[in-house]
Amino acid sequence: MSSLSNSYLKKIYSSSMLLLCIAYILTALSCNPVTEQPLNHQAHFDTIINQATTYVGNGQPKQAITYLDSVYATYPNPGVKDVFRKYESLINIYLHFEVNTSKAMLYTDSIFHLLKDKETIYKDEYANGLFFLGETLMAEKRYTEAFKVYYDGKSFAKKYLEDCSLSIFSNKLGLVRFNQEQYQKAIPYFKEAIQENRNCKPETGFDYLFIFPQTYLNTIAMCFERSREPDSAIIYYQKALDFIAFKKGLFPKRQDFISLANGVIYGNLGGIYAKINNYGQAVKYLTESIAINDRPGYEIRDAQTAKQKLVELYIGHSDFENANRLLNELQTYLSSKAGLSQTNLNIRLKWLRLKYEYFDKRKEPLMAYTYLQKFHNSRDSINKVDKELKSVDIDQAFKDTEQKYRMVLLRKDNQLKTAYLSAVLACMLLVIIILFFIWHNLKRSRRLNKQISEHNINMQRTLDSLEQSQEENARMMMIVAHDLRNPIGNITSMANLMLGENNRPKDDLEMLGMIKASGQNSLHLVNDLLKANSQREKLQKEDVDLYDLLNYCVNLLAHKAKEKNQQIMLHATHVKISLNTEKMWRVMSNLIGNAIKFSPEQATIIVKMEERPESVLITVVDHGIGIPPVIQHKIFDMFGQAKRSGTAGEQPFGLGLAISKQIIENHGGKIWVESKTNEGSSFYVELPLN
């Protein structure tokens, strides 16, 4: 389920650096205005901070860091507030863009060092320092420490700042409870934040007047939902939508964000309707959520969560087409740069579970088991990290024993590091030497493999030429034999008719008898030739592990795929079957080679095997140019004209599939194709187990 409190803040960070705005909003709300120090240069550093914000908004956080460091390094004597603004900008970048919690913690410590003995002079900066410290601890999942810091921040703000600013800390206290899965204990903090937010004045801006209130309502609804109180959850989701509808007219320039907020709540509302089995309402709200946020500039990550909920509904109602479409869209997102982020671990985990449920519902146990195994492995890794964090008692948040214990461990760790330094250096030197020899041998092995691959290619080409020559000879023999039947048959028939005529001389009858016998013998010979070319070949079979055979074919043709920047993926298990190794190798090499030939660059070719009760199904899937329907029935015909050039101009011969069909049928199996033009082809080979 999406958390608006986190996803919304990220959205604002990328456009206007929310934490920077909070610092100056708190300044406006302070009871006792801070006396401006003469060494602060607000106008000058406004330009600098805005430029850094622009770099971040354009997806260049490293450029923003370099820019801030260089500008501040050349400025002679910045004031306390000037330096504070640099630190808060860097913390924001390291928490949400160039993620590095260690560096974020370092700059948080720098803030407290900067403000030491000046807390009551720079009240707003100190309150924000506590806020940043809590954010960093939350990012590291140190919830107990984060709770104490937020509580200290609220106590400080309550003493020195106006009530409006308290809502930020109340919300964060609730989020700590929420992340600890103590949802009923979290709700009072969010309600308290709503009450405190009502004291905000109109000049406090869009964040306090719109973003925060509807976020609090949405998070309360999420607490009820996770507490298994769906009716209360629906009420608060609806309250959030009503609040957005009531307030959106006040902010005409922020309609994109307001639409985004609606989309997130629609997704959450669709999820709760799915849980109470209201299929129609669930599909309606989830579809609207995806339509709003699954586009650049909106909450794309939340759209993926909505897609997962919708996939679960489709699978439950056996709508496999729509379920597969959304699963493929999710896979595309998870393969992107944004999808590879650590923040998407839960989305990736649920995607694996949904893939298992999809194949399980479709009664494809082999594929289902593969994704089930991946799901359990990923879930166990995540649970192992989170287990102790979730078991922490939040009511012990005020104790600092953990911090002291960590300091003791650090001192001991430093002592051990000093003792082992020499040994480590020696080991590193040894490892470097070993790695050098490994690299040298690997380089040599690659050269040898390349030579072997080239020899294999030449051998394959020679074999293809021999097979083509053999097939041409067989074809010519069949044509000649077939064309000889008619004239020989006519000669035999004419001789037979003439033998039936009366008054023929004896010599003529003898000659006609000889002609008839010769014709009949010739016909028998022609028939024998035709039978010899039509009868199945007697195969010499042996028990073969199909996985080894397929793996060998894939490895052998990998170089061809590499020439076109393609990738061949094998999904198979070890199944033994009786067959002719050389001929079956010829079939699979031909099918995989065709997939490479007719697929574009950077395509993925899938070779998979499925064991059935009485047979084995091998599938070769490409995403190439496909086969037009008008020639699909000709591609297995020895005399068909279905030749086409490959995507890189590779020349066809037109006999490979015909030969493959004969080999498969000689094994008692069958081969067929399913294809769509410009979408790719799937070739299927089914072989009997017995």
Query: How confident is the model over 307-319, as pLDDT tens digits?
Result: 899 999 999 899 9
Q: How far apart are CA 58 and CA 21, in angstroms?
A: 19
Count the Cβ atoms, other than its own, within 10 Å of residue 472: 11
Residue tagged 């989305």 (tokens): 347
Under the banding of pLDDT at 50, 70 and 90, the label for residue 2 is very low
* Segment 139-175, tens digit of pLDDT: 888 988 989 998 998 888 888 888 788 888 889 888 9
Under the banding of pLDDT at 50, 70 and 90, the label for residue 108 is very high
Quick check: 6 pLDDT over 60? no
- Highest average pLDDT, of 238-247, 341-350, 537-546, 628-637, comes from 238-247
What string of H, E and C letters represents the secondary structure of 117-138?
A: CCCCCCHHHHHHHHHHHHHHHH
Per-residue CA distances from 276 to 228, 230, 280, 339 (Å): 10, 8, 11, 30
Range with lowest mean pLDDT among 325-329, 496-500, 583-587, 649-653: 649-653
By CB atoms closer than 10 A (0-12, 13-18, 19+), residue 30 is middle
State both tokens at 307: 């897609």
* Segment 374-422, tens digit of pLDDT: 888 888 776 665 554 444 444 444 444 445 445 555 566 667 777 778 8
pLDDT mean over 112-129: 89
Quote the pLDDT of residue 531. 52
Quote the pLDDT of residue 109. 93
* Segment 17-39, tens digit of pLDDT: 444 444 444 444 444 444 445 47
Q: Check if the beta carbon of residue 347 is closer than 8 Å to that of residue 377.
A: no
Quote the pLDDT of residue 592. 92
Sign of the Cα pseudo-torsion (203, 204, 206, 211, in order): negative
State both tokens at 573: 């298990």
**Three-state secondary structure call for residue 435:** helix
Q: Check if the beta carbon of residue 63 is closer than 8 Å to that of residue 55.
A: yes
Could you give the dihedral angle defined by the CA atoms of residues 169, 11, 217 and 382, in that order, rounded to the nearest 10 degrees? -80
Q: Check if the beta carbon of residue 301 is closer than 8 Å to that of residue 262.
A: no
% of the chain with per-residue pLDDT over 70: 82
Q: Which helix (H) or strand (E) holds 541?
A: none
DSSP secondary-structure letter at 158? H
Under the banding of pLDDT at 50, 70 and 90, the label for residue 14 is very low
Quote the pLDDT of residue 534. 47
Quote the pLDDT of residue 481. 63
pLDDT mean over 503-515: 75
Q: Check if the beta carbon of residue 607 is closer than 8 Å to that of residue 620.
A: yes
Quote the pLDDT of residue 454. 85
Residue tagged 């109180």 (tokens): 229
Quote the pLDDT of residue 688. 93
State both tokens at 505: 């001389």
Sign of the Cα pseudo-torsion (448, 450, 451, 453, in order): positive
Quick check: 480 pLDDT over 80? no
Round the average pLDDT of the chain to a whole number and report it. 81
Count the Cβ atoms, other than its own, within 10 Å of residue 446: 10
Residues 6+ apart with CB under 8 A from 451: none
Quote the pLDDT of residue 456. 84
Contacts 24+ apart (CB under 8 A), 336-341: 338/300, 338/301, 339/304, 341/99
Count the Cβ atoms, other than its own, within 10 Å of residue 634: 16
By CB atoms closer than 10 A (0-12, 13-18, 19+), residue 21 is middle
pTM: 0.48
Range with lowest mean pLDDT among 136-140, 184-188, 361-365, 655-659: 655-659
State both tokens at 49: 């901070």
- The half-sphere exposure of 111 on its side-chain side, counting CA atoms within 13 A, is 27
* Segment 414-461, tens digit of pLDDT: 677 777 788 888 888 888 999 988 998 888 888 888 888 888 888 888
Q: Kind of pairing, strands 604-611 and 615-621?
A: antiparallel
Higher model confidence: residue 639 or residue 237? 237
Task: State the Cα angle at 211 between 210 and 214, rounded to 5°.
Answer: 80
pLDDT mean over 261-274: 90
Quote the pLDDT of residue 20. 43
Range with lowest mean pLDDT among 2-16, 113-127, 326-340, 619-633: 2-16
Quote the pLDDT of residue 483. 66
Q: How far apart are CA 655 and CA 657, in angstroms?
A: 6
